[in-house]
């Protein structure tokens, strides 16, 4: 099952080339915004797996081209990046020089 947010951060399941709205299957998860919804869903996925699958099977899909796919973590608290190859590139440029 491939979960996603679409349009106004409604929860959907991707089925082939269509998105099925399954927001109603998780309406009891307390939330202020989409980040709360996805956190609550992750914490209790075992409880929601079957209702989501059933909702996806019963629902009518909207073609992917007609929806706006949203980021899975709408407002991440932290973004952690690491420049793994930064130093190797710097060493190469120093050793060869700009005119080499």
Tens-binned pLDDT, residue by residue, of the chain (100 aa) = 999 999 999 999 999 999 999 999 999 998 888 888 988 999 999 999 999 999 999 999 999 999 999 988 766 667 677 666 666 555 555 555 566 5
pTM of the full structure: 0.70
Residue 49 lies in domain: 2-96
Rounded to 5°, the CA angle 53-37-47 comes to 40
Tell me 67's DSSP state: S
Identify the residue whose tokens are 């679409």: 6
Domain count, the chain: 1
């Amino acid at each position: 099952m491939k979960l996603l947010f679409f349009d106004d951060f409604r929860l959907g399941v991707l089925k082939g080339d269509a998105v099925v709205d399954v927001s109603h299957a998780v309406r009891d998860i307390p939330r202020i915004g989409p980040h709360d919804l996805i956190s609550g869903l992750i914490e209790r996925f075992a409880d929601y797996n079957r209702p989501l699958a059933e909702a996806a099977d019963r629902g009518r899909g909207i073609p992917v081209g007609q929806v706006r796919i949203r980021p899975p973590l709408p407002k991440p608290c932290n973004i952690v990046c690491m420049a793994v190859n930064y130093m190797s590139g710097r060493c190469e440029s120093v050793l060869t020089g700009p005119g080499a």
